[in-house]
Amino acid sequence: MKKILVYSHDTYGLGNIRRMMAVVEYLAKEMDDVSILVLSGSPMLQAFRMAPGIDYIKLPCLTRTDDGKYSPKTLGLSHDRVLGLRADLILNTVLEFAPDVIIVDKKPLGVQNELAPTLDVIRRKANRPKLILLLREILDAPAKTIDVWSRNGYHDVIRELYDRVLVLGTQQIFDTAKEYRFPPATLEKVVYCGYIAKPPGRRGVSEIREELGVGDRKLVLVTAGGGADGFRLLAAYILGLRKKAGKGLHSLIFVGPEMDAEQQRTLRTLAADMPDLHLLEFSDDVMSYMNAADVIVSMAGYNTITEILSLEKEAVVVPRTRPVEEQWIRATRLERLGLISVIHPDQLTTGRLFAAIRVRLNGESARLCKVRPAMQALHRVAMTVNELLRYRDESGWGQLLTDGQRAPALAAATRSNVTSMRNFNAKMSTT
């Protein structure tokens, strides 16, 4: 049995966990005799259907503050205690599950360096699991990302411990290694996989449109992902409908499960008595609804954009610009190719929004040159995992830690995990 551990910190929204679950589900489908365990702090993890061969361990939730830092989301414990609890769970899971391959989402040392105790155990053993760092194509503005990676010693960790760095994107849109100035030791491990292609959904277009009562009208689907910061976009759209800017349109809005309850109530009040408008919180088959739409209005998170690209849909996006510029960079790069229309959030008005929607609905954007980016990421990730498994020592984890060594390792991590996380970069630079 081949064993794969997937770490997805996912502290904000649905983006990371949706992307990682797409990878996990593909691996489980395409690989024989594989067992996959997901470690995540996502509060929505339990909403995903787990296919055979996949299970998960839920880490205590963290949330990202407006200044980009992290704090406990639900537990009434201090930041250090929650972080220590997560680190203990990660280390214990790795020791007991003994994976052949570990896939780490985005952060080489995890959130707040919570992977440091686990990596510290792994790095001292000759027969360690293969490590893959999985990056979306754009992390943040280049200057900021270069500084963060330098201060945290990420390239040192990658040089010593990681076997591959898989970029879920193409150089055509954003050359990750070049933009972020990856050094040669990191660059030689980078593989550009293309974007993740999403299947069209479980239900047909006619079924969805009949369910919504669309008829022969144009359907606009509006989504803000998890919804935590999507209120302004969704409110602007509904207010535009109330001002008759969307005359003749049928609309479906996903408010998102992470939108504040008071904001959801406000939106539902605004949408009252509007028979051509449907509000849903969440669907595990959003692709079916997107496939039935004539135009999509959204933010510019990785998952939503890849869904739009997969379905080749007309789209108007209002990207997030703070606290990171990832969405703004992605949106403007795609707009240059004519693939989407972009409105800066500081310039969002109902007039601009519906004018852009009409352009997309009327096919006026068709004159723009459209170049479709490569969408084979899942296949290439699976190829890399299989490649690394072939090189994996057949003796597995048998000699990594004996039963007698396991308890002291866990005890040491429990006593000092927070200190270890803070000091791991210094240790890496001296060894």
Domains, the chain, in order of start with CATH, read 2-195+376-425 (3.40.50.2000), 205-367 (3.40.50.2000)
**β-strand partners of 167:** 135, 192
Contact between 238 and 271 under an 8 Å Cβ cutoff? The reply is yes
Q: Which amino acid is at 19?
A: R
Who wins on pLDDT, 362 or 214?
214
Of 96, 148, 134, the C-alpha closest to 118 is: 96
Rounded mean pLDDT, 98-105: 96
Would you report the helix, strand and coil content of the chain in percent, each value rounded to 5? Answer: 45, 15, 40
Percent of the chain with pLDDT over 70: 85
pLDDT digit string, tens, across residues 55-101: 999 998 887 766 666 766 777 678 788 888 989 999 999 999 999 99
Quote the mean pLDDT of the chain: 87
Neighbours of 106 (CB within 10 A): 18
pLDDT at 169 over 90: yes
409: three-class secondary structure by DSSP: helix
What percentage of the chain has pLDDT greater than the value 90? 68
Which residues contact residue 163 at a Cβ distance below 8 angstroms, ignoring those fewer than 6 apart? 130, 131, 132, 189, 388
pLDDT given at position 391: 78
How sure is the predictor about 387, in pLDDT bands with cuts at 50, 70 and 90?
very high
CA dist., res. 422 & res. 78, Å (int): 16
Give pLDDT, residue 407: 47
User: Contact at 8 Å (CB) between 228 and 12?
Assistant: yes
pTM of the complete model: 0.86
| Unique residue bearing structure tokens 């048998």 | 398
Q: 48 pLDDT band (50/70/90 cuts)?
A: confident
Which residues partner with 56 through β-bridges? Answer: 38
Q: pLDDT tens across 232-290, in order?
A: 999 999 999 999 998 999 999 999 988 999 999 999 999 999 999 999 998 889 999 99
pLDDT, position 27: 96
418-429: per-residue pLDDT in tens?
Answer: 444 444 434 444
pLDDT recorded at residue 66: 61
